Amino acid sequence: MMDTVKEKNSPAPAAPKIGALIPAAGMGARMGSRDPKQFLDLCGRPMLVVTLEKFQNCPCIEGIIIVVPADKVDVCQEEIVGRYHLAKVKQVVAGGEKRQDSVRLGIEASEGRYERVMIHDGVRPLVSGTLIERVADEGRHHRAVITALPAKETVKSVNDDGFVTKTHDRNRVWLVQTPQLFRYEDLIRAHRQAIQEEWEMVTDDASLLEKIGIPIKVIEGSEDNIKVTTPHDLELARLILNRSDVPPAGCK
């Protein structure tokens, strides 16, 4: 009986330490701007700041690592982290040639100080704190968690000549977003194996973990959580911010 009482009164396991890794090293050629898109103005602040503040304000996030172009490390440290008082940012890391390289460099820089790593695109500034917390909570029960939206339209595979080769069951097709949450040891192993085996054209980190046999849990994301890639996306982001209850200063 005493053992049963002790078991019932034992504390719940502590929540794992989560570090946010924000890849923002792209040059944004499709935006047609002189500056990388993550530094463009979004309602009075750099887009990257709008993204980072969401993680800064989430209790589940212990620290943040940003990966930026090599020539923007000092600028990011001073004009982004320092100016906007982003105290949870622990490191600003120079990125690599591809997104996959940049993420790996950020993971390696963390040196395993976080049990879980939540990866989120720096140019998805409309992620909500609620979604971040939902992903963190699912991470207590699943080894890897990603956000996605069910496809609304028919999806087809097309060959190099522009002819349809297959029509997919859209009830089984999901459009992947970030944030994505993984165990550090799984993530670093997958990225290092990708180098050894020369896995190319991997567009998200979940794909790497799939290749090493890690089960991926999918939860529904948000339609507002868009990736800002083109001038049209930037205008849409401004519209979404304007319709929110408390739009940032500078939105019109």
Closest residue by Cα to residue 152 from 220, 234, 202: 220
- Over residues 214-232, the mean pLDDT reads 96
Domain assignment of residue 248, yes or no = no
Quote the pLDDT of residue 135: 98
- Round the average pLDDT of the chain to a whole number and report it: 90
Quote the pLDDT of residue 35: 78
Domain assignment of residue 7, yes or no = no
Domain assignment of residue 1, yes or no = no
- Over residues 23-41, the mean pLDDT reads 80
Question: Between 37 and 28, whose confidence is greater?
Answer: 37
Provide the CATH number for the domain around residue 223: 3.90.550.10
Show the DSSP H helices in 93-128 as ranges. Answer: 99-110
Quote the pLDDT of residue 4: 45
Quote the pLDDT of residue 201: 77
Where in the sequence is the domain holding 65, given as residue range(s)? 15-243
Q: How much is the pTM? A: 0.90
Q: Which residue's entry shows tokens 């529904």? A: 220
Confidence check: pLDDT of 12 > 90: no
State pLDDT tens for residues 145-185. 999 999 999 999 999 999 999 999 999 999 999 999 999 99
Confidence check: pLDDT of 1 > 50: no
Q: pLDDT band at residue 245, thresholds of 50, 70 and 90?
A: low
Confidence check: pLDDT of 5 > 50: no
Confidence check: pLDDT of 7 > 90: no
Domain assignment of residue 5, yes or no = no
Q: Which residue's entry shows tokens 């994301």? A: 221
Coil, strand, or helix at residue 212? Answer: coil
Confidence check: pLDDT of 200 > 90: no
Quote the pLDDT of residue 34: 74
Say how many domains are in the chain: 1
Give the integer Cα–Cα distance in Å for 28 and 26: 6
Query: By CB neighbour count within 10 A (0-12 exposed, 13-18 middle, 19+ buried), where does 130 fall?
Result: exposed
Per the CB < 8 A criterion, the answer to whether 117 and 110 are in contact is: yes
Domain assignment of residue 4, yes or no = no
Domain assignment of residue 8, yes or no = no
Confidence check: pLDDT of 251 > 80: no
State pLDDT tens for residues 57-103. 999 999 999 999 999 999 999 999 999 999 999 999 999 999 999 99
Quote the pLDDT of residue 6: 41
Q: pLDDT band at residue 196, thresholds of 50, 70 and 90?
A: very high
Confidence check: pLDDT of 11 > 90: no
